[in-house]
Amino acid sequence: MRAAILLTLSLLLLARSAQAQPTSGEQERVARKACLVGDTAKGVEILADLFIDTRDPTHIYNQGRCFEQNRRYADAVARFREYLLKAVDLDAKAKAEVEQHIAACASYLAKGEGTEHAEVGEKSPAGSEPRATAVPAAAPVTATTAGPPQVTPPGVLPQATQETSERPHNRRTPGAIWLAFAGGTGGAYHGRQSVDSRSRSPVTNTVAPVAAGFAPASLFQLEPELGIQVSDRFALAIFLRYQYAPKDDAGYVPGPDEYPILTSAVAGFLRAEFSALNLSNFRGYLSGGVGVGKSFLAVIHKDCDMTSCPLSHSDTVSGGTLGLLAGLGAMVHLTTNLGIFLDAKEIVTFRTVLALTEINVGLAVAFDPW
């Protein structure tokens, strides 16, 4: 219980830290406002930080739009040309759109314009919306600066639809909290050791040993989880792992120095997730973590090797109290708040070594408390 409390406190501290950090969407909004009120330096600096963090060339394009809106045409041309170098997947129409911006800026420079600043809120001559996310040109994206478009080129949405179409996917946003519940089953590899009940062999009158080998980990395990999406690719979570293994005891009654047959075990884990593959509403991730528990069980059936394990009942063997895990999984985000996932994990316990392999399916519900 103490370990679970400590893990919960750790997650809450991390959540407060994540709350203190502005999300990508909040930074884009600040940049948009700065460009609108004529604070070009601030807007361009924020967009530069966003590019460094995400490597999304669309932020370079939006730097050009910020310069263009504020009549710094030479700087705008430089940014648009840099965008063409970085955005290697643009189609012909999208490239033509950028070339139009370059040509418009060049025409104003030829007239000797570009040294004065535009009035606050004044639209740029080019009049089209900038982009906000790096997606193929045919996909809808949002604007970083204002101004109703004269045309709607590929990759740009009219102002009326931008707020509802800001994100082209349903994956969790940075700062989101989620609750998940998963269940599944698995198996284990254990070393040679005595059964947990300490049942004695009627032949040798010693505690019945189990030879090293594979065994079911339990009938099933259940895992409730609480997590926070720190960034688009990185998340932290705590979860409880409950194992259940029904007993087949044939009326077994513990004798002197023997124990009741275990049917359950509980452990708590802190784990980190890294999204190695983000494709629209699909997310493939790797995970790793550490946990502690009363025991991690492997189930020994009563039909085990009767020479060394003459049991009249099912039994268990337990791993150590410390567990390290590594895993991989996949999630499909049905909406921004709801997702289904498949998760596979390997847990190795110490000091008593027990290797558990488990597969779970589950449902996750996310919300943004900030």
Examine the domain organization and report whether 78 and 155 are in the same domain. Answer: yes
Percent of the chain surpassing pLDDT 90: 39
Average pLDDT over residues 221-238: 94
**Cα of 142 vs its chain's centroid, Å:** 23
Predicted TM-score (pTM) of this structure: 0.55
Place 309 in a pLDDT band, splitting at 50, 70 and 90: low
Give tens-digit pLDDT for 28-57: 888 888 998 889 999 899 999 888 888 888
pLDDT at residue 299, as a whole number: 87
Q: How far is 87 from 95, CA to CA, in rounded Å?
A: 9
Examine the domain organization and report whether 268 and 136 are in the same domain. Answer: no
Give CB contacts under 8 A, 24+ apart, made by 25-32. Answer: 25/166, 25/173, 28/132, 28/144, 31/62, 31/66, 31/144, 32/143, 32/144, 32/145, 32/146
Place 114 in a pLDDT band, splitting at 50, 70 and 90: low
* Domain around 153: 24-165
Decide which of 369 and 134 is more confident.
Answer: 369
Examine the domain organization and report whether 99 and 185 are in the same domain. Answer: no
pLDDT at 158 over 70: no
Examine the domain organization and report whether 229 and 348 are in the same domain. Answer: yes
Examine the domain organization and report whether 120 and 83 are in the same domain. Answer: yes
Examine the domain organization and report whether 161 and 180 are in the same domain. Answer: no
Token pair of 327 as six digits? 């895993």
DSSP count for the chain of H helices, then E strands: 6, 12
CATH no. for residue 115? 1.25.40
Token pair of 41 as six digits? 């330096």
Examine the domain organization and report whether 235 and 211 are in the same domain. Answer: yes
Overall number of domains in the chain: 2
Point out the least confidently predicted range of 62-66, 138-142, 366-370: 138-142
pLDDT at residue 161, as a whole number: 36
Examine the domain organization and report whether 158 and 230 are in the same domain. Answer: no
Decide which of 165 and 249 is more confident.
Answer: 249
Most confident segment among 7-21, 163-177, 350-364:
350-364
Examine the domain organization and report whether 67 and 6 are in the same domain. Answer: no
Which of 147, 165, 183 is at the close of a domain? 165
Give tens-digit pLDDT for 262-288: 889 999 999 999 999 988 889 999 999
Examine the domain organization and report whether 142 and 253 are in the same domain. Answer: no
Examine the domain organization and report whether 51 and 153 are in the same domain. Answer: yes
Examine the domain organization and report whether 41 and 9 are in the same domain. Answer: no
pLDDT at 118 over 50: no
Give tens-digit pLDDT for 1-20: 454 455 455 554 544 544 44
pLDDT at 164 over 60: no
CATH no. for residue 325? 2.40.160.20
Place 310 in a pLDDT band, splitting at 50, 70 and 90: low
Residues 296, 356: contact at Cβ < 8 Å?
A: yes
pLDDT at residue 29, as a whole number: 86
pLDDT at residue 120, as a whole number: 38
Which of 146, 165, 184 is at the close of a domain? 165
Decide which of 211 and 357 is more confident.
Answer: 357
Which of 165, 196, 226 is at the close of a domain? 165
